[in-house]
Structure 1
Amino acid sequence: MLDQLEAEFPEHAPRPSDAPKALDGIRVVDFSHFIAGPLATMILADMGAEVIKIEAPETGDDLRRYPPVHPELRHGAPFLWTNRNKRSVAIDLKSAGGLNIVRELIAKADVVVENFSTGVMKRLGLDYDSCRTIKPDIIYCSVSAYGRDGTSADRLGFDPIVQVESGFVSMNGYADREGVRALSPVMDISTAMMASNAILGAMVACARSGVGQAIEVSLFDNAVLMTGYATLQHLFSGADPQRHGNTSPDTCPSGVFQAQDRSFYINCGNDKIFQRLMSQVIGRPDLASAEVYATGPDRIRRRDELFAILGEAFAQQPWPYWQSRMRAAGVPCGQVRSVGEAIRSPEARERAIVTRIPHPTVGWVPNVRLPIRYSRTPVADPIAAPAVGQHTEEVLREVLGYDEARFARLAETGALGDHRRQQSAEKKQT
C-alpha cells in the first residue's frame, strides 16, 4: 500500500516561507465528521486557519474507518482526503470535564462548525445561543441534512439520499433504465464549498460590524441547487429533464465517440464550434454549411444521423490525430479517462495536483491540492491528517495554558478518554 508513491508523484513544493496566509490568526473549533463539514473546515485550514478537530477518544471520526484503511495509519484514504492541516483533540463530550474544555476553546475561537443530528448540540449546551454567551461574536456554522427546523429537521441524510430526493439522480444515466447516482460524493463536496464560502462571508461581515452570526447549510438545499438550471427549465416548460446518457439535451453534437484506440468526448456548445468541427476536423465543409444542421435544434432533431457520420469518421484515426486537429480548430474535447489515468495525466502533473507529503509513521502519504491558487497568500503547506487525539495536550497547553496538574485531574475524570485515565493511574503506581 502506497509502495509506488515516491516513484510516481513528486514531493510537495513548499510555499514561500515569508508569504502570509489568507486566514492567519483565525481559529476554528470543528465538531464535524464524515465529509461535508470536515471538507469545509479543511478548506479553511488550507487558507491558514487554525482548525482544532474535536473527536471522541479512541474511535474518532467515523470516516477514519472508510476503506482502504492503512494498517499503520489506522485510518483510510477518505479521512486523509478531508482532514489535512488540522489538529485533533480527543475529548469525551459526555463528561462534564470534556464539555468545560470545549467551552474554553470556543471562548478563544472565531468559528464553530458542527454537523451533528439536529438537537445534539443543544443537548450538550453547545448550540448557537449557548456559544454566543461564551463568545458574543462567534460565527457558528451548522451543516445539516434538511435544515435545523421544520418537519424534516430530525431526518438523517447522506449524500446519496439527497441525490435521489433532489431530482439529481432522475437526470443522470440512460433513458431506458433507472437514473443513477454520482459515485463521487458531489453533494457533500459542494455543500462543503457552500459552507466554507458562507463562513468566509460571515467573517467579512463580522470584521465590519463586530457581530457574529449563525449559518446554516443543508445538504438537501444544496442538492437542489446542484440540479443546475434544470429547475428553471422545468418551471418554464413544465417538463422534467430526461436522461440522455452522455449526450446533451441542449447542444449537438455533444457526447462520447470512439477513435481507433480509445473513447473521447466532444462538446459543440454553439453553431460556430459545429462548423469548425465539420470543416476543419473531419473535412466535411458541405455539412458545416448544410441548412439541415444550421442550428442547435436542427442538429438535435437529427442527432442519430449526425452521430453516425461522426462515428464513422472518427473510427478511421487514433485519438492523438483527432485531438491535435480539434485543438487546432478550437473544438472542446477530452479523452475518457479512469481516475488513475486522470491523476497521472500531463495536465495533472503540470499543475502538481497530486503530490506526496511526509508522514512520521509511513514516510509519505499522497495529497490532492485545492484548486485555489493565490498570488499573495498561497495556501498552507499540507500536513497529513492527524491520528485521533494526536494534538490534545499540545492544543490545551498552547491555547488554554493547561499544566501537568490540570492534565492529571482531567485524566482521572475520563474527560480525555479511558486510555489517558489508565495512563494516569499507571503513572501514580510508578
Structure 2
Amino acid sequence: MSCPSVGDKPDADPKAGWPTLHATEEAKPITLGVPQNVWGTLTLFSPEPKTRRQDLYDFNRELSALITALRAERLTLVTGLRRTGKTSLLRVALGEAGVTYLYVDVRLSLYAGYRDIAEVFARSLEDLLRRESSLADRLREALRGLGGLEVSLGPPSVRVTFRGRGRLSLSDLFTRLNDLGEPIVVAVDEAQELRKANWLRFDRLFAYAYDNLPNVRLVLTGSQFGLLYDFLGLEDPRAPLFGRAFREVRTRRLSPDEALDFLERGFSEAGVRCPGDLMEKAVDALDGIIGWLTYFGHLYVTGGLRDLEDVVRAASSLALEELRDLISSLRSPRYAVILRALAGGRAPWAAIRRRLEDYEGRGLNPATVSQLIGTLVKLGVVEEVNGEYAIADPVYRLAASRL
C-alpha cells in the first residue's frame, strides 16, 4: 500500500519547436573558456548535484515532502525522468533533515560482481565516517568483526578485504547500523541498478530491514521507475516487499514560466547576459528538463557556446551515447526501430507495430510489440500520452533520429 505521491504532473505534450539539426551532424568539440570570477558564483548552472537549499531551484513542495519522509517513513521512493533533479533533491533533503545517513551511489557495470557491491558500500561507509566524526568511534565498534571490511579512523577509511573473516554480508551490515541505537537513513541512488547484481536478492534484504530493523529507513531513487517498481516487487503479491507502506516523491518538468525564470536567475547569478529570445527558444526546445536547462546555461557561460543549435547538438550527442548503451544492454535492434519511429513525435501503438513489421519483413505478435514498448516505458525513455507513445526527453527524441 503506497502513500500519495508528491510532484505529479499532467501529461506533457512533446515540443515541436526544435532547432533545425540534421540527423548526421555531430557535436563540435567544446573548449572551455571560463571567465575568471564565474566558478565562484555559478551555482544554479553548476553541473554537479546540489547539496544546499539555496542552490536548488524552487522544488520546495517536493523538498518538504522528502524531508518529512526521511524523518518518519520506513520506505521512501524518489522517482522521475532522468535529469529532473532526483539526486540534487535527495542530497539537499539529507543535509536538511537532521538525520544520520548512508548515501549509496550504485551506478554499476553491466555484470556487477561481489567486489563491485562491496566497494560501493565501503565508499559510502567511509563518507559517513568523514561526515559524522562524533559517530566515528561508535560506528567503528559496531563494524568490528564484520567480514569483508577493514575500518580505520586515522584517517577515516573503509576498505574491502578478502582476508580472514570472509565476505561482507549486507544483512549483517544493516543489522549493525540498526544497533547504533538511533535512526539511520540508507539512501540508495538509482536503486534499480542493483538488479545487475542478480546473485543477491536486494528485495529480500530491504524487506528484512523493513520488518526487523526499526532504526533503518530506506530511501531509493530511480529514473527507470517502472524497473524500480518491478525490481522491488511493490505490486507483486509474491514479492517480499508487497503490501509494505511507502512514500513516493516525484520530480517533475518545470513549467515554461519556471524554466524561463530558472535561466534568468542562473544568468543573473553568473553575471552573463543572455538574449531573452534565445532563452525562450531554449525553454521551448528543452521542455522543462532542468538538467538540460542547466547544461545549456553551463555551456553558454563557461564554454562559449552561444548558439542554441550547438548546445542542443552537444546535448544530443551525449544522449545518443546513452541510448546506444541502453540498446546494447537490451540486446535487440527492435528497440532502436521503435525509438526511430518516435523521433518525429508521438505515434500510436499500431504505427509502431507497422514500423517493426516493415523492419523485420514479417508480422509480429501483438503481445511482443506491447512487451517491447512496455520495456521502454519502464525504463523511463518512452511515455504514454493520451493513448499514444512519445519519447519522454526532448533531447533523447532528437538523438533517436541518429540511431
State the TM-score bracket (shorter-chain normalisation): under 0.3
Question: What TM-score comes out, normalization by structure 2 length?
Answer: 0.25
- Higher RCO by CA contacts (8 Å cutoff, separation 6 or greater): 2
Question: What TM-score comes out, normalization by structure 1 length?
Answer: 0.23
Q: Which has the higher helix share?
A: 2
